[in-house]
Amino acid sequence: MMDNARSLLNARDQTGKPKDQYQILKEEVAQKTDKLNRYSKHLEILNQASVIINSIRDVPTILRTVTQAALELWESDGGAAGIVDDGQLLFRDWYWKGQHNTRQIRCNILRDLNNMSNFMEVLKSGNNRDGPFQFSIPGNVEIKKCLAVPIHDRQLKVQACLLLFNSDNSFSGQNVIENPLPALISSAGTALDNTRSIMELRDKELALQSSLQEKNLLLKEIHHRVKNNLQAIVGLLEAHLGAIENPRDKEIFQKGQSLAMSMAMIHELLYSTEDYARVDFGENTRKLVDQAFTLYPDLAKRVQITFHLEELYLNTDTAIPLSLIINELVSNALIHAFPDGRTGTVSISMRQVGRGGFVMEIADDGIGIPNTSEVPNRQTLGLNLVHSLMDNLHGTMKVKVNGGTRYIIRFKEYFECDNLELG
C-alpha cells in the first residue's frame, strides 16, 4: 500500500511535471474497471462453454466448443482441438480468422505434449519449420506462432490437445494467471472422460443386446425344431393307430400322442412369444384342451369344457409338467367319465394363492371313479405319470368323488419349490 501511494505521489507526465492526483486516480480506476470487465467477459465465456460441454456427449461438439471459447479468451487468429486417435492427434475442425473449416488433419506431437513442463508451451515460433511441431493448414495460411495446451484424462494421460495459432510472432499478452483458460481445459477433460465412459458403456450395452438377440434367435430355432420333432412323433403314432385293434392298446397310443402334442404346443407358444422363459398359462390350457378334443371327436358334441382361469404366466419348468398333468386328467375324464353316450361338463380352474402359490382344479360331472383308493396307490400308468410330475413340482393332489370327480392340485413355481409348504 505504501509503495502504491509513493508511486502515485511521484508520478510524472511526459514533460516531467508531477501528475495531477485526480488524473492519476482516474487512470487507475479506468485500468481496474477495464480489467474487471475483461474478467467478467472471460467468466461469461467460460460459463457458457462449460454448460455446453458438460451437457452433451459428443466428442466433436465438445472440441469445437472448447476451440471457440479459447479463441475468445486468448484472442488468437485461429485454433483447433484434436483427440488422440491411433497414437496421433486427429483434428476434424479448425478455425482461422472467424472462418470454420472442416478437414481431417493428423499430426504426431504426443511426445512433445508429454514432455511439457508448463501448462501450455510454444511448439512453433517464427518461420522455423524444422522445430518439434509441424502443423500445416490447407490454403495460403502461414502460422508463425502456435501454443499447445494438452487436455489430460483422469490418469493424467494426454487425451486431446488445444492449439492456438497466430500469423505473427506474438499473442495478445494474456497469461495463465489472468486467464480462465485452465478452468476451460479442466472442464473439457472431465467432459471428454465422461463421454468416453458413456460411449464405452453404450458399446458394451450394444454388444450385450446383439448377443442377447443372437441367443433369442437360437432359442427360437431350438423351440421350433423341438416342436417339429414332437409333431413328427405324433404323426408316427397316428400312423400306427390304424394297425391297433385292442381298445386298451389304442388308448395307450392315443395318450402318448396327446402327451407329445401337449409338449409340442408349449414349444410352439414359446416360439411365437418374445419371452422365452414364461408361458401364458390361460392360452396354453385352452389350446391344450382343444387339442385333446381332436383325438376324441365323438365327444365334442356331448361334453362341454368350461374355464375359470386367472391371467397367469408360469416359467417353462412349471408349465411343461403342469400341461402334461392337465392333458392326462382331461383325457381320463373324456375317456372314462362319460360312457354310453352320456353328456356332461369338464371344468378347469386355476388361481394364485399367497406368494407364488397356485391351486388348480380339474373336475367333471361324470360317473366318478369307482374306487378312489386307486389314486393314492397309483395303480394306473396315467396316474403314475401324474404323481411323478407332481413330485417334480413338490406339489400335492387331492381327489374328491361326489357326483363326478374333482382333482385339487396345489403347487408353487418350480424355482420356488424348496420353500414349499402345502397341506
C-alpha cell at 344: 356332461
Q: Kindly report the average pLDDT of the chain as a whole number.
A: 79
Give me the pLDDT at residue 409, please: 92
Give me the pLDDT at residue 120, please: 75
Candidates 312, 307, 301, 381; CA nearest to 342 is 301
C-alpha cell at 10: 511521484
377 pLDDT above the threshold of 70: no
Q: What's the average model confidence in pLDDT over 367-390?
A: 66
Asked whether the beta carbons of 274 and 316 are under 8 A apart, the reply is no
Domains of the chain: 19-201 (3.30.450.40), 277-423 (3.30.565.10)
Give me the pLDDT at residue 135, please: 56
Indicate the pTM of the whole model. Answer: 0.51
Sign, CA torsion 385/388/390/395 = positive
pLDDT tens, 1-57? 445 544 544 555 555 555 567 777 877 888 888 777 777 888 888 888 888 888 888
**How far apart are the C-alpha atoms of 86 and 32, rounded to whole Å?**
48
pLDDT tens, 207-263? 998 888 888 788 778 878 888 888 888 888 888 887 888 888 887 787 777 778 777
Q: How far is CA 288 from CA 8, 282, 330, in A?
A: 104, 10, 10
pLDDT tens, 316-363? 788 888 888 888 898 888 888 888 888 999 999 999 887 778 999 999
